[in-house]
């Protein structure tokens, strides 16, 4: 097939997920620079169609129903599964990316469809679905933003397990589901599957859910998940004699036979939530001296090679969260713009410093888990001298109003030497919105004394901050 040469752009971005979109947009904003996004599937990426958006659209009705159940006098009906799935589909735009393509064009960004690979310095080769190939050359920068893909262990592949893509885009709710894994994706999927009517078993290799969070967070989720959680699980075999791939989101044919810790169990679907790997296997990394299949390491300007190759989002392995990928992309876009204009990049704006220990995350389980910064174990591992302050969120008037019997816990981790908050964790119904105040305190290294003057409104759940500071005073 002939190679069409060579579209020239100032900036070429491989991958049109949230990170790629932001990198392209920031790199050319307010300038006459040109940018192109190369996308092999849908502009908007994993987050928009198979990850954040559909999962949160499935979890919100579950949360709302639980909130109503916690208040006497509020009528509570069963979830309308078809209605929940319809609303989920509206959030994924029925896998139609024309809205995001229009956004790109409105920003002055071209979109080229196809699989992009590096073919040398500042050179990208794109293979379209029909096999035709074209070359793109970058005047300033190439940004890798190809995200990550689900890991399916080879011994499970034959049973056609669902990945996160299938379980977020489910069309029917399987009656009996085995979820392999105990991390965020596993716990969130268990939450919506159980609420939509599935009988869920979780096979967790370790001894806790959400092992990277504070131990009390995983314990609270385990205690309230409507699932049979098996810790220390050993999967002896997973087989699907009648396996048949009927396509994404459909129930694959035949039951799955599982030997779990010596017990024989049968499921309609198995969901593998065993982690993700950076999408770098077929990216032409070897043409620029990098190793395929691994995360693309970067400096804090998100540069991977010289001043021309950058990597943002899941692909660089720094923090696999949409908001962190977008943050890196803003920094990266600003760095590219500054370098193209011959400006310096010494100021803090040009460095992705928050990647190092200031990352916020929300797990939308019941209860929710919202955290930022270090956990106690991480602080100890870093040799920091810390004080742990924890309170029961249910003692706050705003929480009592929020739900009868509100149960939750808030914890601050205070660096004793600097007297600043370096970590915060909240567990409880709808605590997601509490975490940004903590993020500001952590990133701003606000002295605890000064936090006294950040007065939370009455009667809100945020008054837990006051309880925490009072507990600190003793």
Ligand X SMILES: Cc1cc2nc3c(=O)[nH]c(=O)nc-3n(C[C@H](O)[C@H](O)[C@H](O)COP(=O)(O)OP(=O)(O)OC[C@H]3O[C@@H](n4cnc5c(N)ncnc54)[C@H](O)[C@@H]3O)c2cc1C
Shortest CB 168 distance to ligand X, Å:
5
Cβ closest to ligand X, residue 60 vs residue 323 = 323
Q: b/e for 434-459, b at 16 or more Cβ within 10 A?
A: bbebbbebbeeebebeebeeeebeee
In the DSSP assignment, the letter for residue 287 is: G
Considering the complex, state which of residue 34 and residue 280 has its C-beta at the smaller distance from ligand X: 280
Q: Return d(Cα 265, Cα 242) in angstroms, integer.
A: 16
Binding residue (CB under 6 A) for ligand X from 323, 394, 400, 432: 323
Tokens of 441: 């305190």
Classified as helix, coil or strand, 41 is coil
CB of 134 to ligand X, least distance (A): 13
Q: How far is the CB of 230 from ligand X (least distance, A)?
A: 21
CA 417 to each of CA 219, 313, 382: distance values in angstroms, whole numbers, following the listed order: 30, 33, 14
**Interface with ligand X, residue 430, by CB under 6 A:** no
Contacting ligand X within 97-116 (CB under 6 A): 115-116
* Nearest-approach distance from CB 198 to ligand X, in angstroms: 16
Question: From the centroid of its chain, how far is CA 20?
Answer: 15
The pair of three-digit structure tokens given for residue 394, joined into one six-digit string: 């249910």
Minimum CB–partner distance for residue 107 and ligand X (Å): 16
360 near ligand X, rule: CB under 6 A: no
Kindly state whether residue 123 participates in binding ligand X, applying the rule CB under 6 A. Answer: no
CB of 27 to ligand X, least distance (A): 15
List CB contacts of 263: < 8 A, sequence separation 6 or more: none
In angstroms, what is the minimal distance from the CB of 329 to ligand X?
8
Q: Interacting stretch for ligand X, rule CB under 6 A, among 312-320, 376-384, 390-398, 446-454?
A: 312-320
Choose, by CB under 6 A, the member of 204, 209, 225, 279 that binds ligand X: 279
Position 20 contacts ligand X (CB under 6 A) = yes
Q: Strand pairing of 409-415 and 420-428?
A: antiparallel
Question: Which residue, among 244, 286, 31, 94, has the nearest Cα to 158 in the 3D structure?
Answer: 244
What size, in residues, is the chain?
Answer: 474
Using an 8 Å Cβ cutoff, are 103 and 16 in contact?
no
Of 133-162, binders to ligand X (CB under 6 A) are 145-148
Q: How many chain residues bind ligand X (CB under 6 A)?
A: 37
Q: Does 55 bind ligand X (CB under 6 A)?
A: yes
Among 27, 28, 178, 185, binds ligand X (CB under 6 A): 185
Does residue number 182 form part of the binding site for ligand X (CB under 6 A)?
no
Asked whether position 164 contacts ligand X by CB under 6 A, the answer is yes
Both tokens of 468, joined, read 């925490």
Q: What is the DSSP string of 54-116?
A: HHHHHHHHHHHHHHHHTSTTS------HHHHHHHHHHHTGGG--HHHHHHHHHTTEEEEESEE
Min CB(98)–ligand X separation in Å: 15
Task: Give least dist CB 473 to ligand X, A.
Answer: 35
CA angle 216, 222, 227 (to 5 degrees): 175
Candidates 28-36, 39-47, 264-272, 441-449: pick the segment binding ligand X (CB under 6 A).
39-47
Pick between residue 21 and residue 268 the one whose CB is nearest to ligand X: 21
Place of tokens 């956004």: 103
Q: Contact with ligand X (CB under 6 A): which of 314, 415, 430, 463?
A: 314
* 181 versus 429: smaller Cβ distance to ligand X: 181
Q: Which residues lie near ligand X (CB under 6 A)?
A: 14-20, 38-41, 45-47, 51-52, 55-56, 115-116, 145-148, 164, 168, 185, 279, 283, 313-315, 320-323, 325
């Amino acid at each position: 097939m002939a190679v069409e040469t060579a579209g020239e752009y100032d900036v070429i971005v491989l991958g049109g997920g949230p990170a790629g979109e932001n990198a392209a947009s920031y790199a050319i904003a307010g300038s006459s620079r040109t940018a192109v996004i190369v996308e092999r599937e849908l502009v908007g990426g994993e987050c928009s169609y198979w990850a954040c958006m559909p999962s949160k659209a499935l979890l919100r009705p579950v949360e709302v129903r639980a909130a109503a159940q916690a208040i006497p006098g509020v009528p509570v009906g069963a979830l309308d599964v078809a209605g929940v799935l319809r609303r989920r589909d509206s959030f994924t735009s029925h896998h139609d990316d024309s809205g995001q393509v229009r956004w790109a064009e409105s920003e002055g960004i071209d979109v080229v469809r196809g699989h992009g690979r590096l073919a040398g310095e500042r050179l990208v080769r794109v293979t379209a679905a029909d096999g035709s190939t074209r070359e793109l050359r970058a005047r300033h920068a190439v940004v890798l933003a190809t995200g990550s893909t689900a890991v399916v262990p080879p011994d499970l592949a034959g049973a056609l397990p669902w990945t996160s893509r299938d379980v977020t885009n489910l069309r029917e709710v399987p009656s009996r589901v085995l979820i392999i894994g105990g991390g965020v994706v596993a716990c969130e999927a268990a939450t919506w599957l159980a609420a939509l009517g599935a009988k869920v078993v979780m096979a967790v290799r370790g001894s806790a859910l959400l092992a990277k969070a504070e131990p009390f967070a995983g314990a609270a989720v385990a205690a309230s998940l409507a699932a049979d959680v098996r810790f220390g699980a050993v999967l002896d075999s997973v087989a699907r004699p009648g396996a048949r791939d009927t396509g994404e989101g459909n129930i694959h044919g035949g039951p799955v036979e599982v030997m779990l810790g010596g017990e024989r169990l049968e499921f309609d679907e198995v969901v593998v939530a065993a982690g993700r790997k950076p999408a770098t296997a077929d990216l032409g990394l070897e043409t620029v001296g990098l190793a395929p299949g691994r995360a693309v390491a970067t400096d804090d300007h998100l540069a991977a090679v010289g001043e021309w190759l950058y990597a943002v989002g899941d692909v660089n392995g720094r923090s696999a969260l949409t908001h962190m990928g977008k943050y890196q992309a803003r920094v990266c876009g600003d760095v590219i713009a500054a370098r193209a204009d011959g400006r310096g990049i010494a100021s803090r704006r040009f460095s992705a410093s928050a990647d190092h220990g200031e990352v916020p995350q929300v797990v939308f389980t019941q209860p929710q888990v919202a955290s930022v910064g270090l956990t106690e174990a991480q602080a100890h591992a870093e040799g920091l001298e810390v004080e742990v302050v924890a309170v029961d969120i249910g003692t706050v008037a705003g929480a009592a109003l929020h739900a009868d019997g509100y149960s939750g816990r808030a914890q601050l981790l205070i660096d004793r030497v600097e007297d600043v908050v370096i970590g915060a964790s909240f567990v409880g119904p709808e605590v997601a919105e509490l975490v940004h105040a903590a993020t500001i305190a952590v990133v701003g290294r606000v002295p605890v004394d000064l936090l006294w003057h950040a007065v939370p409104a009455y009667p809100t759940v945020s008054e837990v901050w006051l309880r925490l500071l009072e507990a600190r005073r003793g």
